[in-house]
Amino acid sequence: MNDTRRSFLRKSALLGAGIAGTTPGLLHLSAQPTPDESTPRPTPVILATDIGDDIDDTWALGLLLKSPELDLKLVMTEYGKAQYRAKLLAKFLQTTAHAHVPVGIGPDVEPKGEGGQAAWVKDYDLGSYPGKVHSDGVQALVDTVMQSNRPVTLICIGPMPNVAAALAREPRIAQHARIVGMDGSVRLGYGGSKTASAEWNVKAAVKAAQQVLSAPWDITITPLDTCGLVTLEGARYRRVLESADPVASTVIQNYRLWSRANNTPGDAEHHSSVLFDTVAVYLALGQDLCNMERLGIRVSDDGYTLIDEHAKQMNVATGWKSLDRYRDLLVQRLAGA
Ligand SMILES: [Ca+2]
């Protein structure tokens, strides 16, 4: 749908320029904004994801594909399980008619193996993916950032060893990209607990988090304080569950397999799990629904994200202005108009 609308806008703009350029009486039209100029260009983004462990990455990818403000230039696997994650990304993109998006495979390191969505890609051949598959995903990330003529938004929704590796390989990416990440726990912990937690994405690869979250790029994060509170239930969940939209139905198909693999098959018929990673995608396109604070954040060696005025300053979504409006946005985008 978005591709169709974009190509329509592009054609309209070309037509407008042609008229203005060849008809003297209409020259003033060239000063009028064309549809392309009046519609903000989508932001180039890269998604770095540990898809295939918790199911929220799959929901986040769905939200990203349904957000016309964002132009997905590359998906890269994070945190091991490289082949399994790459297959999930490729099959999801192909199933939802986004097979033009390149897939970058991260290094074949620990952790290895598969996860709760393995059944979905059991017979999928990565070689059959119509788009580009980069065997060196870290280099693909570096090249995509350095070759972009506009700053890239790097959405990080997993532990970040591969983003840290990209930064080590080409430190200048920090001048050409900004980070929007699902990271940490500032004042609230898991489940809205009043005690901060050592959040998984930080704790699973602490050194990488310290490197990425202190580099000189612009950083925005959703810690558990905001992302840890997002679930869909009741009528909202049913809209996604019953949607015929290819993205929504692919998300639900994966959620059902994942729930079965986690011995909670009934969950997928009634409510979502916590959709942490979707909030990072949201923050890449807008922040109006969150309370944003500018805070110095230091990553401790045991994986906590501590407020420290001498540490790297970043934009932190520390609370919701309206969590219900965010839930509505998520449903509207995933389930279609
Ligand atoms: Ca994740």
274 alpha carbon to ligand 1 midpoint, in Å?
11
Q: What is the pLDDT of residue 34?
A: 54
- Summary count for the chain: helices (H), strands (E): 14, 10
Domain ranges of the chain: 1-39, 45-335
pLDDT single digits (tens) 108-123: 999 999 999 999 999 9
pLDDT single digits (tens) 24-73: 333 344 444 455 566 789 999 999 999 999 999 999 999 999 999 999 99
Q: What is the pLDDT of residue 240?
A: 98
Mean pLDDT of 162-177: 98
254 alpha carbon to ligand 1 midpoint, in Å?
15
236 alpha carbon to ligand 1 midpoint, in Å?
22
12 alpha carbon to ligand 1 midpoint, in Å?
39
- Residue 21: pLDDT band with limits 50, 70, 90: very low
- Taking the C-alpha atoms of residue 330 and residue 319, their distance in angstroms, rounded to an integer, is 17
Instruction: Tell me which of 28 and 311 has the higher pLDDT.
Output: 311
Q: Which helix (H) or strand (E) holds 177?
A: strand 177-182
pLDDT single digits (tens) 9-20: 333 333 333 333
Q: What is the 3-state secondary structure (H, E, C) of 146-169?
A: HHCCCCEEEEECCCCHHHHHHHHH
**CA max distance for the chain:** 71
- Whether 244 has a pLDDT exceeding 80, the answer reads yes
101 alpha carbon to ligand 1 midpoint, in Å?
19
Q: What is the pLDDT of residue 40?
A: 85
Q: What is the pLDDT of residue 35?
A: 53
Q: What is the pLDDT of residue 39?
A: 77
Q: What is the pLDDT of residue 337?
A: 55
2 alpha carbon to ligand 1 midpoint, in Å?
25
163 alpha carbon to ligand 1 midpoint, in Å?
14
- Taking the C-alpha atoms of residue 215 and residue 173, their distance in angstroms, rounded to an integer, is 10
Q: What is the pLDDT of residue 292?
A: 98
Q: What is the pLDDT of residue 121?
A: 98
pLDDT single digits (tens) 195-240: 999 999 999 999 999 999 999 999 999 999 999 999 999 999 999 9
Cα dist from 204 to 173, 207, 274, 279, whole Å: 23, 9, 19, 20
Q: What is the pLDDT of residue 77?
A: 98
40 alpha carbon to ligand 1 midpoint, in Å?
29
- Residue 333: pLDDT band with limits 50, 70, 90: very high
157 alpha carbon to ligand 1 midpoint, in Å?
4
52 alpha carbon to ligand 1 midpoint, in Å?
8
162 alpha carbon to ligand 1 midpoint, in Å?
14
286 alpha carbon to ligand 1 midpoint, in Å?
20
- Whether 320 has a pLDDT exceeding 60, the answer reads yes
68 alpha carbon to ligand 1 midpoint, in Å?
22
106 alpha carbon to ligand 1 midpoint, in Å?
15
**What would the CATH number be for the domain defined by 45-335?**
3.90.245.10
147 alpha carbon to ligand 1 midpoint, in Å?
27
193 alpha carbon to ligand 1 midpoint, in Å?
20
Cα dist from 38 to 31, 41, 148, whole Å: 12, 9, 22
